[in-house]
Amino acid sequence: MMDQSIQFDLGLINRYDKAGPRYTSYPTALELHEGFGDREYRRHIAKSNAAGGPLSLYFHIPFCDTVCFYCACNKIVTKNRKHAEPYLANLCKEIAMQGDLFDSSRVVNQLHWGGGTPTFLSYEQMLTLMDVTREHFHLRNDDKGEYSIEVDPRETNGQTMKQLRELGFNRVSLGLQDFDPAVQKAVNRLQSEEQTFSVLAAARAEGFRSTNIDLIYGLPLQTVETFAKTLDKILAVAPDRFSIFNYAHMPARFKTQRQINDADMPTPDVKLAILQMVGQRLTEAGYVYIGMDHFAKPDDELAVAQREGHLYRNFQGYSTHSDCDLVGLGITSIGRVGDAYIQNVKELDEYDQLISQGKLPVFKGVELDDDDKLRRAVITQLICHFDLSFAAVEQQFGISFASYFAKELEALAPMQADGLLMLSAEGVKVLSAGRLLIRNICMVFDKYLAQKQQQFSKVI
């Protein structure tokens, strides 16, 4: 049985707490460039079709009813629901354009609506979007796919959950962040326990296979005691998964974060104490640490996939579908098709202009070279499974690991001395104390990091 425990070592965390990527991809999105456009994307789609295999679809729904001050997502805040109509019309056109390029026999095993707030849309709009998707892509009708959606409980009810289930969704992630009234007021997200738990109960009643709760630690006015109260309330209803993110306060980059009073921010010591409490409480409650802010019940598909060695990581986080090419749809969405990453344009006007011209709304991308693919495999294996076999990498890529990564292995030696990992002639095994610092271990294998490190948030 795989060891999925974590060990909280304050001294180690303080020593290693520096900026670094979250590795939802390698190379990271910072390496995408504008020299990669429509023509290059079409070439990679052709290669992808020749290879075959299932697909994953991501839809970005950028609209929000109100602004949450902590948010760093690409969003459009509006009370006017009609503002979504022209965007949805363009999104449907993009679905048709992209769908025509992919082999119609390729089954969509994974689908995700993110945002913004996907539940900003009316049921009629969501129905249209799903119908158009089904017309141009081969969606499953047996409920065996992983079809997920992010919902805001403040504008979701039992009827909404019934409708989402009828549309084919079987996984749901509920945004919450914190129940404490003072914290909610400080970040402009007022949300009651009744709203949240009624949606969770409705999801279960409608037969959603997995429920996830999103929390954030490090928000203004949070303390260990207040966050523990929030956590205890949620543990009482036992969702299948938790996503507990470290808030990265970067008001210079994200304008909405300037609404937060810097004096209200918890100290680094308080943030670490909250993280320690979270790990202890969730472990005691029977959840296992998947990695990178994610916890799940032992029988959840993520936990099972990790134990069985086929967990994967993509732009939506951890996934059980490593065999899927990811098609990004809508503004700012990022896809991975074949050996390339592709991002759509970020602004509504530019998106509208390209769609109206019948052009794919590609903004930039990057084609992976052999070294990128090798390092991606190493980083993905470490961040998903905390274990790396040199022989497996050597067999797949035809290299001598010790020779190719001589400098990297040398850089891992101090981490071994600190008890983060165990190095042997056979490979790398991340120990319990190293799991919370897995980003640091992965960073050793990142050849782009030196010139880009200051653009990332801290690892803890």
**Host H or E run for residue 59:** strand 55-61
- Known binder of ligand: residue 276? no
CATH of 29-326 given 3.80.30.20, 3.40.228.10, 3.40.1440.60, 3.40.50.720: 3.80.30.20
> What token pair was written down for 407?
């400098």
Torsion angle in degrees (nearest 10) through CA of 56, 58, 59, 60: 180
What's the confidence (pLDDT) of residue 130? 98
CATH class of 1-27+370-459: mainly alpha
Kindly give the residue spans of alpha helices, DSSP state H, lying in 206-330. 224-235, 268-284, 301-308
- Known binder of ligand: residue 214? yes
* CB-based contact 152:119 (threshold 8 Å): yes
- Known binder of ligand: residue 189? yes
CA 282 to chain centre: 20
- Known binder of ligand: residue 116? yes
What's the confidence (pLDDT) of residue 80? 87
- Known binder of ligand: residue 72? yes
- Known binder of ligand: residue 370? no
> Bridge-partner residues for 146, per DSSP?
110
DSSP-derived secondary structure letter, 204: H
- Known binder of ligand: residue 203? no
d(CA 10, CA 434): 12
What's the confidence (pLDDT) of residue 457? 64
* CB-based contact 36:365 (threshold 8 Å): yes
Maximum Cα–Cα distance across the chain: 61
What's the confidence (pLDDT) of residue 455? 60
* pTM across the whole model: 0.93
What's the confidence (pLDDT) of residue 54? 96
> What token pair was written down for 359?
């052009």
- Known binder of ligand: residue 64? yes
* CB-based contact 42:96 (threshold 8 Å): no
Q: Taking the domains of the chain in order of start, what are their residue ranges?
A: 1-27+370-459, 29-326
CA 45 to chain centre: 23
* CB-based contact 437:420 (threshold 8 Å): yes
d(CA 351, CA 348): 5
* CB-based contact 199:239 (threshold 8 Å): no
- Known binder of ligand: residue 404? no
The rounded average pLDDT for each run of 10 residues, N- to C-terminus, in the chain (460 residues) is 73 83 90 94 96 96 93 87 94 98 96 94 96 98 94 94 97 96 96 97 97 96 97 97 92 92 93 92 94 91 90 85 90 95 96 96 96 96 95 97 97 95 96 91 92 62
Q: Which amino acid is at 406?
A: A
- Known binder of ligand: residue 177? yes
What's the confidence (pLDDT) of residue 393? 97
d(CA 212, CA 148): 10
Q: Burial level of 426, CB count in 10 A (0-12/13-18/19+)?
A: exposed
User: Helices (H) and strands (E) in the chain — how many of each?
Assistant: 17, 20
- Known binder of ligand: residue 290? no
* CB-based contact 32:25 (threshold 8 Å): no
Single out the residue of 111, 146, 180 nearest to residue 327, CA to CA: 111
What's the confidence (pLDDT) of residue 294? 92
- Known binder of ligand: residue 147? no
What's the confidence (pLDDT) of residue 460? 66
- 3-state SS assignment for residue 365: strand
- Known binder of ligand: residue 191? no
Q: Any idea which residue has 């990178």 for tokens? A: 292
